[in-house]
Amino acid sequence: MLYFEFKGEFGPDVKSLEGSTLNISATHFTNQILIQIRASGEMDSTYEVTQRGIRPMEQIFSRPIAGQNGVLEENEEEEEEFETMRDHLSDYNVIVRLGDSNDAKIPVICTQIANLYQTVILPQSAPVLRGDNFSGVNLLITLNSKMWRQDENDSNVDFAKLVFLLKSIKEMYVK
Amino acid sequence: MSVKTVFKTITSESSLNQSIPIEIIATIPEDLQASKIPISLTLCYQKDRNNDSKYQIPSTFMYYHYSIPNRLRTKKATDDDVIGIPLIDTDNDWIKDISRKIANMVAKKYNKPCYVAWSNTKLMDNSTISMDQLFVLRSCMEFVQSIMKQ
């Protein structure tokens, strides 16, 4: 088992959780990555995140295989004009394994974590961490749903929590 | 409220020629009274282990079980002490059985929720399992007990 862990503490920008610990552990298997996120030690809900559909072409060719680095310079400006916005978060399918299926917030958090793995962590890490099917992430996330319920009416605090969580996950792999 | 993580590899001593190590990663609460903090066990059944590099062997995730002490329990003898649910299911009954038993026993003994994740280094069918279920169960319980005491 390939195992990573991280221990952090919430800062003052998350008042309701300030000072409480955040423990993250990730175990990489060949077919799945198990992520356990404990806020104040607790965790109660489990979500499974898989890639939906075929991977978009631009993601496959984001890094050219060899030689020319994409389009010529003079054409670049034109290209920018026609660039379409992609909603990367709709590429993921979130399955509630255990938890409140009416909670619309946690699936968003899970897709953000999946997108972090798909675009940053897995492409940069050793091949052994990616497992057999690098065609798409397959995550199993167990987290503390209470952590997201405390500041129901303040989306800024939720955003701060999410940024801290994603930063922590990234940091876990830097060490 | 903090947690700690402990690693261990257990090997059967009775049948040396067929001993298959099982690697355990356990996360337990530091405060043993905290009944809301779950114990999580990640197990790896290392069949065909061919090197000694610790904790770096890729394995396949098979089964994930969650058990929780039944807090609504009345004193009737027919009521269940522990309720559990498979989060990721498998068709391998041996794995399902052993993981469920470990989760239920840990949840019951320590009165805390318990997650058990089972993985193999190689895909297997029922015929290839040579390890005694009781031995695995006993070793896991002994290991959890030893770290909960510290």
Instruction: Quick: pLDDT tens for A48-83.
Output: 999 876 655 555 445 444 444 445 555 555 555 555
Pick the more confident residue, A87 or A82.
Answer: A87
CB spacing of B1 vs A131 below 8 angstroms: no
In tens, the pLDDT along A23-40 reads 999 999 888 999 999 999
DSSP three-state, residue A152: coil
B5 interaction partners in chain A (CB closer than 8 Å): 5, 25
- Cα B142 to chain centroid distance, Å, stands at 11
Q: What is the ipTM of this complex?
A: 0.86
CATH number, residue A56 = 3.30.230.90
CB spacing of B66 vs A27 below 8 angstroms: no
What pLDDT shows up at residue A17? 84
How many distinct structural domains can be found in chain B?
Answer: 1
CATH number, residue B143 = 3.30.230.100
Among the partner-chain residues B23, B29, B61, the one whose CB lies closest to the CB of A34 is B61
List the domain range (segments joined by +) for residue B43: 3-148
In a domain, A74, yes or no: no
79-138 in chain B: CB under 8 A from chain A: 85, 87-88, 113, 115, 117, 119
List the domain range (segments joined by +) for residue A49: 2-66+80-172
Residues forming beta bridges with residue B48, ordered by sequence position: none
Between strands B39-45 and B22-29, the pairing is antiparallel
How many distinct structural domains can be found in chain A?
Answer: 1
Q: Whole-model pTM?
A: 0.84
Q: What is the DSSP letter of A42?
A: B
